[in-house]
Amino acid sequence: MKRIILILMLMIGLSTVAQEKKNKNAKFDIEVNGNCGMCKKRIETAAYSVKGVKSAQWNSEDGVLHLMLNEEKCTLSEVEKAIAKVGHDTKNVKATQADYDNLHGCCQYERK
C-alpha cells in the first residue's frame, strides 16, 4: 500500500514539473502593417481589447508592435487575431479583405 501511495505522489510531482510555467510579463515584438496615427490608435486599442495585454506600443516608422502580456490570461495568437479583425495584417494572421476594405483611405497599406 505504501508503494502505491509513493508511486502516485511521484507521478503527481512529475506531472507538475512537466507543466510549462507561463510568463506574466512576456515581451513580444511583432510586425503589424499600417501607415499613420489612426492606424496606431486602432492597432493599440485592438491589442488592449485582449484580456491580459499589459502594454502595447506600435511605431509607424518601423511597423513594429511592442507587446507585454500575461501568458496566463492570453496568447500572442489572440492578440494577432484581434489586430487582424480591425483590418491590419501581422506576420501570422492576415485581415480579411472586408476588414481591410473598412479601413480609412490613408490607412490602407500595401498588402503583401
The structural domains of the chain, with segments of one domain joined by +, span: 22-107
The CATH T-level fold of domain 22-107 is Alpha-Beta Plaits (3.30.70)
**99 within 8 A of 109, measured Cβ to Cβ:** no
| DSSP string across 47-104 | HHTSTTEEEEEEETTTTEEEEEE-TTT--HHHHHHHHHHTT--BSS-PPPHHHHHTS-
Confidence label for 17 from pLDDT (cuts 50, 70 and 90): very low
Confidence label for 18 from pLDDT (cuts 50, 70 and 90): very low
**56 within 8 A of 44, measured Cβ to Cβ:** yes
**32 within 8 A of 43, measured Cβ to Cβ:** yes
Q: What percent of the chain has pLDDT over 70?
A: 82
Mean pLDDT score of the chain: 89
Task: Collapse the DSSP code of 12 into the 3-class scheme (helix H, G, I; strand E, B; otherwise coil) and give the result.
Answer: helix
The confidence score (pLDDT) of residue 64 equals 98
Confidence label for 5 from pLDDT (cuts 50, 70 and 90): low
